[in-house]
Amino acid sequence: MNMGKGAGMGDRVQGKVVFITGGSDGIGKATAIRLAREGAHVVVCARRAEKLAETRSAIEAFGGAVETRVLDVGDTDAYAAAIADVAARHGRLDGLINNAMSVRYTSILDTTLEDWRQDFLVNADAVFVGTREALRVMYRQRSGSIVNISSLNGIRAMSGMSSYSASKAALIQLSAVAAIEAAPYGVRVNVVAPGQVATPAVEHFAQVEPARAAQSTAVIPMQRSGRPEELASTLLFLISDESTYITGACLPVDGGKAIQLYIPS
């Protein structure tokens, strides 16, 4: 329950109900906290109950409005039911952020069909189901904003990431079609494509592979990783009414990496 505004709280998404997947850490957690600080009622799901509880506690600490659900979006029937339940209980759904993802780093020769399908299940199938179910609600209320999280790897190829890159590219095209279909109903669909972001997984990589991590950072024009909070600011903007004439966009948030003509391997 929202107990009122705390220090540093705003009202850019005041009263909006926003569903966020993959909210147990990294970009999802930072976004849930940021939206709650700006007045949204956030519904956050993830697979790990203990990490999800940390997100909830962080939001409740400043009086933010939050619900948490232990949910694997790969169970697409359960995911669809969760969106319908949230919309029914609150009488609306103003925002959906599809942030949960699956990633593996293997060559094509070492990628099994099962591996390929798992990345597509989470990164494309679940996004399709979530987008479809949110659109059912948003069409009726004739408003809403969906933001699907792709990746720089969905725009540019990288060795060893065939299933991840292909599924994230599919997500971009799905979102573009959804944006066209949803526009007459006053509903917007956009994509954010993060580059290297200092999530727990990236920070762990930097600890175990410092040389490779340094090389990866060196080819970013801004010479650093992004912060989850920087992605959260972008997502806040796209969910808010400050971006009401933006739909069908695919926005790289990558420190300039996508615009380079050549990236050394």
Beta bridge partners of 250: 191
**Token match 């109903």: residue?**
185
φ, ψ for residue 110, nearest 5 deg? -100, 0
Closest CA to 257 of 224, 211, 232: 224
Q: How far apart are CA 179 and CA 238, in angstroms?
A: 13
Closest CA to 216 of 200, 203, 227: 203
Q: How far apart are CA 252 and CA 97, in angstroms?
A: 16
Selecting among 79, 105, 139, 164, the annotated active-site residue is: 164
Region label for 8, one of left (φ > 0), alpha (ψ between -120 and 50) or beta (otherwise): left
How far is C-alpha 222 from the chain's CA centre?
Answer: 22
Q: What dihedral do alpha carbons 13, 17, 19, 24 form, nearest 10°?
A: 70
Is 185 among the residues known to form the active site? no
Residue 235 vs residues 1, 62, 203, 251: alpha-carbon distances, Å: 23, 20, 22, 10
Q: How far apart are CA 60 and CA 154, in angstroms?
A: 35
Catalytic residues: 164
